[in-house]
Structure 1
Amino acid sequence: MKKNQVVKWISQKHVHVPALLLSHYTELGLTEHELVSLLHIQSFIDEGEEFPTPLKLSERMSLSHEDCTKVLSRLIRTQLLGLEKKSDEMGILYETYSLEPLWLRLYELIERQEFNVKQTESHELEGKLYQQMEQEFGRPLSPIEGETLSMWIDQDQHAPELIFAALKEAVISGKLNFRYIDRILFEWKKNGIRSTEQAKSHSEKFRNQNQGRRNEKEPIKTDGVPGFSWLEQS
């Protein structure tokens, strides 16, 4: 057999190893021996042998039969390797290994890490927003104002960039208070506005409507935000 044929033949006989597992197996509490054992079990399953014995595992590894038994026992005990019961066509029950617990634990780990990253980013944004608020108000925020800001982010799920935008609108309007900012955020949420681009478009829409009214009658004197005089009507 030629060299290129040998390479192709070998490359076709492989076990798929998720990159996430290689990156995070130590965080799952797995040792290298346990990781390789799981990969061998997956290989056996792919070959149609769903319940390889410790002896068969040891034949493929540098571990003894006794060590493989201990590895399998620990994997099952820590719920990284599952045992399932199946029945054949004759109704005879037999046991199989399942790597589903491993994949579920890996998924939960990644999901938890991503959540922690988002929480960290959210706290950093909240801190910047807090500083911006104090800068615009020219004073420290009161405990109630700080709690309101946290509620906008945590409970109302307002994006920090939208709170920045609402703060800007309040500054422009000369109505720099939390009640007015809250009303802007409430109207945006009610109208399904999720981004600063949508907020800008929504503002321009009302600005154009107000301009049309002014062309038809005497302008009504207001200290509202350009494009936010609709807030005065509620």
Structure 2
Amino acid sequence: MDDFIHRYIAAGQTSIANYLIDHYREVGMSNDQFLIYLQVRRQIDRGDELPDAEILAQRLGWDKSRVYQVLHELISGKLMSIATVTNSQGQKQDSYDFSLLTDKLSHLAAQETRQTVQKAATTDRATVFNQIETEFGRPLSPLEMESINQWLDEDHYQPELIQLALKEAVLSQAYSLKYMDRILLSWEKKHLTTAVQVQRERERQEPRRSKAPDSAANTAIPDVPIFKLTDR
């Protein structure tokens, strides 16, 4: 047992990124290519920059011609290349290089991020439409849908900002997109583009409002109607 533990520790470990394990097929790597990658990575970690095909064949139980074929597939599939490196003795030697594989994984990650953002935007848009229809108590007309899409796509109002304007309209019993548009425009003129900025502006105005005398003239839309996101 002690001998096994000594040999187990002496053999070292090969570190493989979990992202690669999860997505190697998505970047075009087959199971056989992944096995070759693992064996090549193991040898590189042990200082063998260009492992001999015979060693790889022995590890995998393959014949050498199959190893050469899979190595060629990795190169032709732009998952691996052969680069010239300088070793610790200052000598130049060839080495298997997996930078192309890393690049493909990074592009995949960027694509996943874009898809996540697009999915979130689609969900937010649907939420805005559903909330307005719920509060108005009726389906939106095509023209109203076009107006909301314009708020999101052309005016670039954040969904949560539109939701705040909807809340103000409902509290004022003004079930109208025109009313909401006036609120959004009033915020835009004050350069308030996020719900957080709107909330801060309200907090800044609270002391002045508490000191102002009551007036019957406050029948128009409040200067900057703001509500906390937690308000229901």
Q: Which amino acid aligns with 2:159?
A: P
- Off by >6 Å, runs of 4+ in structure 1: 88-92
Q: Which amino acid aligns with 2:96?
A: Y
CA-CA distance at 1:226 after TM superposition: 7.3
Return 5+ residue gaps in structure 1 as ranges. 230-234
Hey, what does 2:109 align to over in structure 1?
110
Tell me the percent identity.
Answer: 25
CA-CA distance at 1:142 after TM superposition: 4.7
Among 211, 219, 223, the residue aligned to 1:222: 219
Distance 1:46 1:91, change over 3 A: closer
Distance 1:37 1:158, change over 3 A: farther
Structure 2 counterparts to residues 34-113 of structure 1, below 5 A = 34-87=33-86, 94-113=93-112
SS of the aligned residue for 2:79 comes to: coil
TM-score w.r.t. length of structure 2: 0.76
- Aligned length, in residue pairs: 223
CA-CA distance at 1:169 after TM superposition: 2.0
Q: Which amino acid aligns with 2:188?
A: F
Q: Which amino acid aligns with 1:106?
A: L
Question: Does the 8 Å contact 1:172/1:225 carry over to 2?
Answer: no
Kindly provide the CA deviation profile for residues 126-167 of structure 1, in whole angstroms up to 9, marking residues without a partner as x.
Answer: 112112223334554454543443344445554423321222
SS of the aligned residue for 1:55 comes to: helix
Hey, what does 1:179 align to over in structure 2?
181
CA-CA distance at 1:180 after TM superposition: 1.6
Kindly provide the CA deviation profile for residues 188-222 of structure 1, in whole angstroms up to 9, marking residues without a partner as x.
Answer: 7x246454xx533432432432332327xx56433
Distance 1:43 1:130, change over 3 A: same
Return 5+ residue gaps in structure 2 as ranges. 227-232
Question: Does the 8 Å contact 2:85/2:95 carry over to 1?
Answer: yes
1:18 lines up with 2:20 in the alignment:
no
Question: Does the 8 Å contact 1:173/1:223 carry over to 2?
Answer: no
Distance 1:185 1:220, change over 3 A: closer
CA-CA distance at 1:34 after TM superposition: 1.0
Question: Does the 8 Å contact 1:167/1:181 carry over to 2?
Answer: no
Distance 1:72 1:156, change over 3 A: farther
Greater displacement, 135-144 / 28-37 = 135-144
Question: Does the 8 Å contact 2:86/2:92 carry over to 1?
Answer: yes
Q: Which amino acid aligns with 1:179?
A: D
Whole-Å separation in 1 of the counterparts to 2:57 and 2:189: 67
Question: Does the 8 Å contact 2:198/2:224 carry over to 1?
Answer: no
Question: Does the 8 Å contact 1:173/1:226 carry over to 2?
Answer: no
SS of the aligned residue for 1:121 comes to: helix
Q: Which amino acid aligns with 1:24?
A: H
TM-score w.r.t. length of structure 1: 0.76
